Chain A
Amino acid sequence: MPPGEDPAICPHCGRQFPRERAVTLHVGLDHTEAASDEAVEAFQAAYRDERTELRRFQLLALAVLVVLYFGFLFAFAIVG
């Protein structure tokens, strides 16, 4: 744990996270039975919100895949 950090802490198991959202998701995933109804709702909202970030990552992944594909296609065409 780097000093000077203010971690978000899970109320059930004490595990530390850098962000509030990580705790919300963690509680929903790993403490499903113990979580209160608001916690479950917060988890579901956070899980849905994650999707925007995920989509951005996937778009980047797709772009790299396309570059890789065409790169190899040309390499094989020139060499083969």
Chain B
Amino acid sequence: MVLALSLSALSSTALAHSGSLRGDTSGLAIPTWLFLATGGGVVGASFLLSSFATDRRLVSAIHGWRRRLSAAPPALTSLGSVVGGLAVAFVVVVGLTGPEDGTRNAAIYVVWVLWWAGALICAYLVGDVWSVVDPFRALARRLPTLDVSYPERLGAWPSAVGLLALVFVEVVTPLADDPRLLAGVVLAYTVGTLAGAATFGPERWFSSVDPVARTFAQYGRVAPIGRGDDGGLSLRLPGMALAEPPADARLDAVGFVVAVVWATSFDGLVTTPAWADLVGRLTELGVPALATYVLGLAGGYLLFLGTYLVAARIARRTSDTYLTTAALARRFAPALLVIAAGYHLAHYLPYLLSLWPALVATVGGSLGGALAAVTGGSASGVGSVPRAVLPGWVGSVSLSFVLLGHLLAVWVAHAAAFETFPERVAALRSQIPITAAMVVYTVVGLWIVAEPSVTPPGVGP
């Protein structure tokens, strides 16, 4: 890939929401409705095609393919969390003492480019790297705990709420641009997480409450490398871990997966002109902008969740089964993670590629400045921050990631259905409403992607 390095200043709002996937629609040669219909049609067609893969031996061979990997030595995992701890410390220090301009501050790049884009991409393409590097978990495990019993009824719902809250904060505050605020939030997160883990026990906290750890863990299940049943590492085909029968029929896991899907969509939704229009109209009627954002986030989430649960309910009828709606919903929800991963990759890979020179430059500048301060020399500081300009075809490649995500999701759901139903026709028929829900999510996601990108109104700096 030929990248042209250009020295240009980044506009601060573009920093968080930029991605060469958006705003490309002036280049779209077909009307939006056809673009959306094609996306939906591809998902539907892939379900229809999957109905030709009905040989159980083939499906279980693909699903069950495994290779054991040698486990990483414990020293490496400890080193990982030390690196993570240093990175967090770096973010806090540079966030508080570095340049106030977000586009020049390394903390912003480390958090949004290296971690939220880079590490998350690693999580679903390779494996859950955060579980190795997470310093909060490593620290929490070494601290004493109160072991207060966690209310079982809550399950993983707090992490779903937490994830939505995180996205909300990122959208309505200048968290993506203001290094001081970012450092403050990281500190608050540290305190809150350690306190929570000390209260309920780290394993419980990080699996059910901490949205960050759970997001990485869930995305990690899309990846080929993961924890096998025996605790060692195993290699499997991408997404196949998601077709494993779940341990329970609880809806909290469904709630979290839908939160992941909605969080990605909402992040894009608030930068559409249609949203700006809505906020404008409601503000005129006297509704505060912030309230619109809250209602949009919560309302959209409930709509997405409702769509999926209705689909599961219809699946109960089309497959003619005694399994409950909740059990069906739980069974097929993991497939949605692949769709979310596809969108994340499409949006954040170009983002990562265009901003990694800036990451390197600002981190280098900070470390150079620190070194100079320690040795008494002088550092030049960060000059103009370079950014890579990506060639035009990156947008099309990104769109193909969305497509691949959907194709894989349909296959994962197909494999899961075959695992669940002894009758193959019932398995196929169960997928009709599930595929329909996926089509709905696809159309919404593609519409957001097709709209030009504007600054979210009423919030921000």
Q: Which residues of A contact B (CB under 8 A)?
A: 1, 7, 16-19, 21-23, 25-26, 28-30, 47, 50, 53-54, 57-58, 61-62, 64-65, 68, 72, 75-76, 79-80
Contact = CB atoms under 8 A, between A and B. Distances in A.
Interface residues of B, number: 26
Given A16-B322, A29-B422, 17 more contacts: A18-B320, A18-B322, A19-B320, A22-B421, A22-B426, A23-B422, A25-B422, A58-B51, A61-B52, A62-B48, A64-B48, A68-B41, A68-B45, A72-B37, A72-B41, A79-B30, A79-B31
Given A18-B322, A50-B423, A64-B48, A57 B30 contact: no
B446 to A, nearest CB: 15
Contacts of B264: none
A57 B422 contact: no
Interface of B: 29-31, 34, 37-38, 41, 44-45, 48-49, 51-52, 54, 56, 320-322, 421-426, 428-429
Contacts, number: 65
A65 to B, nearest CB: 5
Nearest to A23: B422
A75 to B, nearest CB: 6
The majority secondary structure among interface residues of chain A is: helix
A2 to B, nearest CB: 8
Most buried by B among A1, A28, A53, A54: A54
A57 B424 CA distance: 10
B422 A22 contact: yes
A3 B421 CA distance: 22
B244 to A, nearest CB: 15
A57 B425 contact: yes
A58 B423 contact: no
B292 to A, nearest CB: 35
A54 B426 contact: no
A10 to B, nearest CB: 9
A61 B51 contact: yes
Nearest to A69: B45
Given A18-B320, A25-B423, A80-B29, A57 B428 contact: yes
A72 B52 contact: no
B425 A54 contact: yes
B45 A65 contact: yes
B51 A22 contact: no
Contacts of A16: 322
A68 B22 CA distance: 28
B460 to A, nearest CB: 38
Contacts of A72: 37-38, 41
Contacts of B421: 22
Contacts of A58: 51-52, 54
Contact of A1 (B31, B34, B56, B322): B322
